[in-house]
């Protein structure tokens, strides 16, 4: 499956067998001068022009949405997509778009072209009920909303900015970055919407390293009391304490740093306990709790201690 890399390439292909038209085109380009914009911006203008012409005949005409992922790196110069890249990268991209959209979005591959490796994809078409007029179809798809949010996040990561407002998307983007790191790839994302607009972002080595720094965690400790009954005991120094009789009542795994201390208490299943514990959260730089643990500090002051074995 291959598609031409840009509208310029498609135009050259159409004119290849028409020397007179090709000469006119070259002369026109010389008069216009050098194009300073990148290919994505030129393509967006080309699409917008096509849409404007189409709407002269059909006022409700819309363009097909398209997502382009451009992979660059030492092994991406041939314009081919390795299976291992697709397996590691495409699913996290779809998950990130879905999370950003607030609803599941399915994407499908439509082609691969050169220009490093360019992956062409689009949202899977959602059928509308037969009794729903076409004019009632939403002006912007869920994928469009999600892609605008996702590109904002990727751009913020590349610029090493505060991304806490997009914390819910961070794990999906982190999976994308881990895949890029594994295969030494950089990613360019371009979204072409149904109205002829475009949004884009890049994630280079700078952005990938920033994501790696955001992954690092720091502990946050506080002291708290846990009251309830013991529902599980482990000789390795773990006690599960359930705080109520309801089926969905919270339960806490309390760790004893010295398992012998737990054994000396001789606790039994069903015993009521009141523990003073250190509650530790490990937070990453986005504010996401990556781990929580409860460590026994002693019996709560206002409650009698469990009997110790003398």
| C-alpha–C-alpha distance, residues 303 and 247, integer Å | 25
The answer to whether residue 80 is domain-embedded is yes
pLDDT top residue among 13 and 213: 213
Q: Are residues 211 and 110 in the same domain?
A: yes
Q: Are residues 180 and 243 in the same domain?
A: no
User: Does the pLDDT of residue 71 top 60, yes or no?
Assistant: yes
The answer to whether residue 31 is domain-embedded is no
> How much is the mean pLDDT over the chain?
83
Q: Are residues 154 and 233 in the same domain?
A: no
Rounded percentage of the chain residues whose pLDDT exceeds 70: 78
Q: Which of 192, 215, 238 is the last residue of a domain?
A: 215
- pLDDT at site 308: 47
User: Does the pLDDT of residue 288 top 80, yes or no?
Assistant: yes
User: Does the pLDDT of residue 4 top 70, yes or no?
Assistant: no
The answer to whether residue 7 is domain-embedded is no
The number of domains in the chain is 2
Q: What is the mean pLDDT of residues 118-142?
A: 69
For residue 289, what are the domain limits? 219-299
E-strand ranges in the chain read 66-72, 107-114, 117-123, 186-192, 198-203, 217-234, 238-242, 251-255, 272-284, 289-299
Q: Are residues 135 and 251 in the same domain?
A: no
User: Does the pLDDT of residue 309 top 90, yes or no?
Assistant: no
- pLDDT at site 135: 46
The answer to whether residue 8 is domain-embedded is no
User: Does the pLDDT of residue 189 top 90, yes or no?
Assistant: yes
Give the neighbor-by-neighbor strand order of the sheet with 198-203: 107-114, 117-123, 66-72, 186-192, 198-203
């Amino acid at each position: 499956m291959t598609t031409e890399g840009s509208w310029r390439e498609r135009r050259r292909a159409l004119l290849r067998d028409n020397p007179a038209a090709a000469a006119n085109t070259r002369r026109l380009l010389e008069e216009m001068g050098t194009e300073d914009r990148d290919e994505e911006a030129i393509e967006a203008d080309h699409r917008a022009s096509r849409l404007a012409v189409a709407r002269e005949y059909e006022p409700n005409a819309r363009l097909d949405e398209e997502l382009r992922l451009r992979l660059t790196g030492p092994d991406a110069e041939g314009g081919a997509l390795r299976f291992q890249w697709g397996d590691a990268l495409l699913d996290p991209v779809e998950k990130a778009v879905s999370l950003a959209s607030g609803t599941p979005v399915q994407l499908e591959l439509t082609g691969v072209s050169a220009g490093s490796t360019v992956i062409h994809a689009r949202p899977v078409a959602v059928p509308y009920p037969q009794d729903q007029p076409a004019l009632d179809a939403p002006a912007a798809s869920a994928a469009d909303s999600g892609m605008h949010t996702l590109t904002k996040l990727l751009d913020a990561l590349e610029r090493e900015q505060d991304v806490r407002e997009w914390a819910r998307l961070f794990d999906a983007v982190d999976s994308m970055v881990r895949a890029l790191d594994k295969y030494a790839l950089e990613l360019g994302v371009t979204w072409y919407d149904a109205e002829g607009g475009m949004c884009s972002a890049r994630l280079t080595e700078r952005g990938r390293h920033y994501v790696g720094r955001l992954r690092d965690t720091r502990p946050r400790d506080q002291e708290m009391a846990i009251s309830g009954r013991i529902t599980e005991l482990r000789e390795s120094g773990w006690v599960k304490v359930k705080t109520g009789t309801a089926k969905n009542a919270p339960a806490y795994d309390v760790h004893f740093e010295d398992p012998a201390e737990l054994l000396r208490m001789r606790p039994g299943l069903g015993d009521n306990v009141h523990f003073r514990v250190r509650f530790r959260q490990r937070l990453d730089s986005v504010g996401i709790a990556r781990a929580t643990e409860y460590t026994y500090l002693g019996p709560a002051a206002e409650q009698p201690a469990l009997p110790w074995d003398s």
